[in-house]
Chain A
């Protein structure tokens, strides 16, 4: 009797999966955008060309201005195409899209949010290799600064990037002025960073000004190391992270100059809030934060005077042109019925025209050209040294590696990162465990 009841219960788990699958294949929340194609336009076009509906999976379509503008610009260019956006919130996007792609789907274009889901979709044959399309259409990959090649899997390219993000040190000029300290114009060593944070920290309790905020992510620590281009996060040896963890932990626990990890996690603090409020003097973050600053300066959420500098690093020698970041590829679904139009979409959003749209919103496009850079720099609220930094950073390493074992390794790094940041393990002990776990559980 009870046995049957249990059977029922364990089946509930499976049931949930069935619900998930069916729920997502009909597309969580679908937003069909009208863009510029008014009904009259479409009517005229139908006579000449067949109307096509393109299913595009992306995150935060409604809340991110540059995503909606990008789609609208494409629809203007191709009036016979209606883009049906399948969106989900950024945090859930990779999981949602993975489930969605596993079912029978008619997704034509997929925006890729992280390397782990990218490689896993490729391994499952859900994305279409586009090497031949790149060749046929004479796409010059050099405009992407060598990053497309870093995203190749088994010598095949599965996506072109529309966005690029380079990590930099954001700082609040007002707080430097108040403390009478010169701005950090050059790249700092870890010691200099830690020392500077001490000088900038003041106050207690709710009104405390923190010298730095190292956000809760693993890449807030690992990116400082990865920018050197010397390390491999899939190697199973993470000793190179030790000086970085010791700095970050030292700032948090001994100096108390960096906002505490447990506070950020338990109070669910979004890193942008303290920076907007002028509570934080320095923050390593990706260049997308420039877009946030531009928008929030414009709408009055923040009045902080800010600028950017290169990320601190263990050594500054030979680091002049180096940086760390990621590109965000756009790929074509393997099941697409509109391959040509899907390609047109990819080509548009990753090409010059799409880049102009992104740049006008303060987002760094992956497509590189002088005109695009001028548009980007021309935004009200773009940081003073932003252009210089972008131009100097020509040698960008990718923050997370590609490979089918990465998602398992990433999970382990995340768990051990948390234990170090929460003070359950010292940096040294934590890294020893990390090395052992990755070797035992993944590399064996």
Chain B
């Protein structure tokens, strides 16, 4: 009996030893900093002077901070705009490029390309294309008779839609690949059975393809939502939160508070709020999972 226990322990120790290197990395570089954020959110710290405990005043400060309100709203605006459009665009592309059209490999590459291209490079090109006065997009729009083409990134109203448009373009290729993989995983005999029953193509899409894709849609939805709530790079490269505060989002504001104002306490408190928001949304998504996701 004792001997067996010892053997189990030894086996376990071997297993732990294998996990250890990875765990140390996770602990030092991920777990500790995350816990530190929760601690910092209750303090005032500028990275040089001693840390001061200030209770929940960082959290109450958010209620009266108009920039926080605006970036909070903008983050939702961005996510609500980007997630569904990207999902539909990715699905649409995948459906088209799953058929036997000519040059589909080329198209697949073309649509995937924005995701791997250097962000800064494509942003520079976009800013030129969408230049309100000299850009070819507005040139084209005026040529076909649009009187007041949008001022894109130069107006407070059009700036966020421009960023959303860019994000959809950048992300859709990546999620298209996921949908493609899922489409190819749908057993052919389901469609054959459908054919035998004399269904229309739309019915086959509605009652076979879509339900079979729900696990992917679920996964893509969650990934996209998280990605949208933590958007930073696109904002940083494209608009710097401007014009004014029209595209300032939470992570961008957190970054500014932390690394240009050196107000780590307030920045951490906002990170905690962001964490809570994404946690709640993800939990809701998980709750709804069994209602509409079908794992055959």
Contacts and interface: CB of A to CB of B under 8 A. Distances in A.
A143 interface: no
Contacts of A268: 127
8 contacts: A5-B226, A7-B31, A10-B230, A11-B29, A14-B34, A126-B48, A266-B153, A422-B243
B282 A2 contact: yes
Given A15-B30, A263-B133, A418 B48 contact: no
A13 B250 CA distance: 12
A418 B279 CA distance: 35
B275 interface: yes
B153 A18 contact: no
Interface in A398-444: 407-408, 411, 415-416, 418-419, 422-424, 437, 440-441
B49 A437 contact: no
A10 B279 CA distance: 11
Interface string B250-277: 0100111011111000000001001100
A14 B36 contact: yes
A441 B261 CA distance: 14
A98 B262 contact: yes
A8 interface: yes
Interface of B: 29-31, 33-34, 36-37, 46-49, 64-67, 127-128, 131-135, 151, 153-156, 222, 226, 230, 242-245, 251, 254-256, 258-262, 271, 274-275, 278-279, 282, 286
Contacts of A6: 226, 275, 278-279, 282
A39 interface: no
Q: Which 4 A-B pairs have the closest CB atoms?
A: A124-B48, A14-B33, A102-B47, A419-B244
Contacts of A120: 46, 262
B131 A266 contact: yes
Contacts of B255: 13
A352 interface: no
A409 to B, nearest CB: 12
Nearest to B135: A266
A263 B132 CA distance: 8
A95 interface: yes
B152 to A, nearest CB: 9
Interface in A182-202: none
Nearest to A263: B133
B25 to A, nearest CB: 11
Interface of A: 2-3, 5-11, 13-15, 17-18, 20, 95, 98-99, 101-102, 120, 123-126, 260, 262-263, 265-268, 407-408, 411, 415-416, 418-419, 422-424, 437, 440-441
Q: Give the most central of B131, B226, B244: most A CB within 10 Å.
A: B244
Contacts of A8: 30
Contacts of A440: 64, 66
A282 B144 CA distance: 37
A124 B66 contact: no
A102 B262 contact: yes
Contacts of B127: 266, 268
A240 B81 CA distance: 40
Nearest to B28: A18
A441 B65 contact: yes
A16 to B, nearest CB: 9
Given A2-B282, A262-B132, A424-B156, 19 more contacts: A7-B30, A10-B34, A10-B37, A11-B30, A13-B230, A14-B34, A15-B30, A20-B259, A95-B259, A102-B262, A124-B48, A125-B48, A125-B49, A263-B133, A267-B131, A418-B242, A424-B155, A424-B244, A440-B66
A29 B18 CA distance: 38
A9 B282 CA distance: 13
Nearest to A424: B156
Contact of B262 (A5, A18, A124, A418): A124
A265 B135 CA distance: 13
B257 to A, nearest CB: 10
A7 B34 CA distance: 7
B243 A418 contact: yes
B250 to A, nearest CB: 11
B253 to A, nearest CB: 11
Contacts of A125: 48-49
A383 to B, nearest CB: 32
A263 B134 contact: yes
A408 B261 contact: yes
B49 to A, nearest CB: 6
B34 A262 contact: no
Contacts of B66: 437, 440-441
Contacts of B275: 6, 10
Contacts of B37: 10, 14
Contacts of B30: 7-8, 11, 15
Given A2-B222, A441-B67, A415 B48 contact: no
